Chain A
Amino acid sequence: MDNTVLIICLCALATYLTRTGGHLILSRFGALHHRAEAALDAVPVAVLTALVAPAATTEGPAEAIAIILAGVLTLRFSLIISVSAVILRVVALRSRGR
Chain B
Amino acid sequence: MSMTRNDGGMPDFAGEPTSTFRSDVSDGIRDALPILFAVAPFAAVFGAIALENGLSFGELLLTSMSINAGASQFVMLDLLGQGVPAWSIVLTVFAVNFRHVLYSAAVGRHLSKFTTLQKALAFFVLVDPQYAAAERRAGRDGLRPAYYFSFAAAIYIVWITSNCIGAAFGSLIENPAAFGLDVMLPIYFAGLVAGFHTRRGFGVILVVSAAASTLAFHTIGSPWHITIGGLCGLAAAALLSRPKGEASHG
A residues less than 8 Å from B169 (CB atoms) = none
Within 8 A of A (CB), among B159-209: 177-180, 183-184, 186-197, 199-202, 205-206, 208-209
Report chain B residues within 8 Å CB of A25: 105
Hey, what's the 0/1 contact readout for A76-98 against B, CB within 8 Å counting as 1?
Answer: 00011011101110110011000
Known A-B contacts A7-B76, A53-B214; the reply to A18 vs B199 at CB < 8 A is no
- 6 A-B pairs besides A23-B105, A53-B225, A86-B187 with CB distance below 8 A are A8-B63, A18-B99, A26-B105, A42-B234, A56-B210, A79-B188
A86 to B235 Cα, complex, angstroms: 32
State the CA gap A66–B34 with chains docked (Å): 17
In this complex, what residue of A is CB-closest to B108?
A23
Residues B194 and A43 in contact, CB atoms below 8 Å apart: no
In residues 197-250 of chain B, which contact A (Cβ within 8 Å)? 197, 199-202, 205-206, 208-214, 217, 222, 225-244
Quick one: CB contact mask for A22-40 with B, threshold 8 Å, 1 for yes? Answer: 1111110000001111111
Residues of A within 8 A of B34 (CB): 79-80, 83-84
Which interface class (under 10, 10 to 19, 20 to 34, 35 or more) fits B? Answer: 35 or more
Looking at A15, A46, A83, the one whose CB has the most chain B CB atoms below 10 A away is A46
CB-CB nearest 10 A-B residue pairs: A46-B233, A50-B229, A22-B104, A23-B108, A22-B105, A42-B237, A38-B241, A12-B66, A50-B213, A47-B230
19 contacts between A and B (CB under 8 A): A4-B55, A7-B76, A8-B67, A11-B76, A15-B94, A18-B99, A26-B109, A43-B103, A45-B196, A45-B199, A46-B229, A49-B206, A50-B225, A50-B226, A50-B230, A51-B189, A51-B213, A52-B186, A74-B194
